[in-house]
């Protein structure tokens, strides 16, 4: 419930319906963000050069995450998305997903490099996750150079995900991958993915981010691409140059999304330099973040 109307969401089908003709009194607005991304752990065995995840050891407590999820659900949040680091490296990952799926009506999703997926882990996640994002930056030799793992292994990961839940492909776009967008779209389509999410590389202390020239190539490709898979793009300002759909028109960024890092600090988004530490109630900190100058 928000100034935009009443938003209905079904986590199994993934269908969203916005009843924007229904006026909602301000006192009934949902207080939680629509979606919370959660870095369960900073741990990850890969060494992608453009990784933005902090490298100090940190992980969230399972019981606290479950309690926060229940609190968020009651305040109108529609989904939690686990990342990291690598969320499948988190101890009791499958149990946490299952507990949240059973204790809330929220969608449970996660983003993974895929190299820890086994038939046993996928089996234990059945019924506990509603969407998965598989990170695939480039194809073939480009993928292997950037991620340091065999491309065949991520192809196998996509095969394992197929029967588990709808999944999308996440691709960091930079000088190495911008020339492989057709191949990436073809890979996503053939693997049965429902979406190809384009992530223009963001600057970090170690990487410069996508150049202006490569940004332009990305925009030109996305504007004219004919793919069998739905395209999406992260919010970086490039989307303004593309015919993108606003999920909820006019939505305030903090109504749309917040990010909880692996030390328990709530931030406006994953790249935000500051945030507020969550002690007991996460909704108290959500409110404090909204009121922060
Ligand atoms: S797989 Fe993700 S978390 Fe791991 S190093 Fe690469 S970008 Fe970072």
Q: Provide the pLDDT for residue 15.
A: 94
Parse the chain into domains and list their residue ranges.
31-291
Residues 6+ apart with CB under 8 A from 128: 94, 97, 98, 100, 101, 108
Instruction: Pick the closest to residue 128 from 104, 154, 159, 156 (CA basis).
Output: 104
Nearest-atom index, ligand 1, CA of 86: 3
d(CA 184, CA 192): 12
Q: Provide the pLDDT for residue 240.
A: 87
Residue given tokens 């950037």 in the structure block: 146
Low-confidence ranges of the chain (pLDDT < 50): none
Q: Provide the pLDDT for residue 247.
A: 82
Q: Which residue puts its alpha carbon closest to atom 7 of ligand 1?
A: 51
Question: What does pTM read for this prediction?
Answer: 0.95
Mutate to test the pocket of ligand 1, among 49, 59, 87, 135 (most ligand atoms within 8 A of CB): 135
Q: Provide the pLDDT for residue 271.
A: 87
- Specify the DSSP class assigned to residue 206: S
The count of other CB atoms within 10 Å of the CB of residue 261 is 24
Q: Please state the φ and ψ torsions of residue 107, each to the nearest 5 degrees.
A: -75, 140
Beta-strand (E) ranges in 105-166?
A: 107-112, 131-135
Q: Provide the pLDDT for residue 75.
A: 98
Q: Provide the pLDDT for residue 137.
A: 95
Q: Provide the pLDDT for residue 84.
A: 84
Nearest-atom index, ligand 1, CA of 113: 1
Over residues 145-173, the pLDDT tens digits come to 999 999 999 999 999 999 999 999 999 99
Q: Provide the pLDDT for residue 290.
A: 95
The CATH class, in words, for 31-291 is alpha beta
Residue 46 near ligand 1, beta carbon < 6 Å: yes
Residue 53 near ligand 1, beta carbon < 6 Å: yes
d(CA 185, CA 189): 6
Q: Provide the pLDDT for residue 249.
A: 86
Q: Provide the pLDDT for residue 235.
A: 86
The count of other CB atoms within 10 Å of the CB of residue 65 is 23
Q: Provide the pLDDT for residue 246.
A: 84
Residue 3 near ligand 1, beta carbon < 6 Å: no
């Amino acid at each position: 419930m928000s100034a935009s109307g009443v938003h209905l969401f079904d986590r199994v089908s993934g269908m969203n319906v916005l009843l924007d003709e229904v006026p909602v009194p301000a006192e009934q607005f949902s207080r939680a963000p629509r979606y919370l991304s959660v870095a369960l752990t900073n741990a990850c065995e890969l060494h992608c050069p453009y990784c933005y995840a902090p490298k100090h050891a940190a992980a969230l407590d399972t019981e606290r995450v479950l309690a926060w999820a229940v609190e968020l659900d009651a305040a109108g949040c529609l989904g939690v998305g686990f990342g990291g680091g690598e969320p499948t490296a988190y101890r009791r990952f499958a149990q946490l997903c299952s507990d949240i799926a059973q204790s809330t009506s929220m969608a449970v999703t996660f983003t993974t490099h895929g190299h820890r997926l086994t038939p046993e882990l996928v089996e234990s996640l059945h019924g506990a996750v509603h969407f998965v994002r598989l990170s695939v930056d480039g194809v073939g030799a480009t993928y292997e150079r950037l991620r340091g793992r065999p491309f065949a292994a991520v192809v196998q990961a996509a095969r394992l995900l197929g029967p588990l839940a709808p999944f999308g492909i996440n691709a960091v776009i930079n000088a190495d991958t911008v020339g492989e967008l057709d191949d990436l779209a073809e890979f996503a389509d053939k693997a049965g993915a429902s979406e190809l999410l384009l992530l223009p590389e963001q600057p970090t202390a170690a990487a410069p981010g996508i150049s202006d020239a490569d940004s332009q190539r990305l925009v030109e490709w996305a504007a004219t691409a004919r793919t069998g898979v739905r395209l999406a793009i992260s919010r970086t300002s490039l989307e303004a140059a593309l015919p993108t759909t606003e999920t909820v028109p006019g939505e305030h960024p903090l109504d749309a999304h917040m990010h909880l890092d692996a030390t328990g600090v709530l931030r406006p988004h994953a790249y935000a330099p500051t945030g507020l530490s969550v002690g007991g109630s996460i909704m108290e900190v959500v409110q404090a973040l909204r009121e922060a100058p």
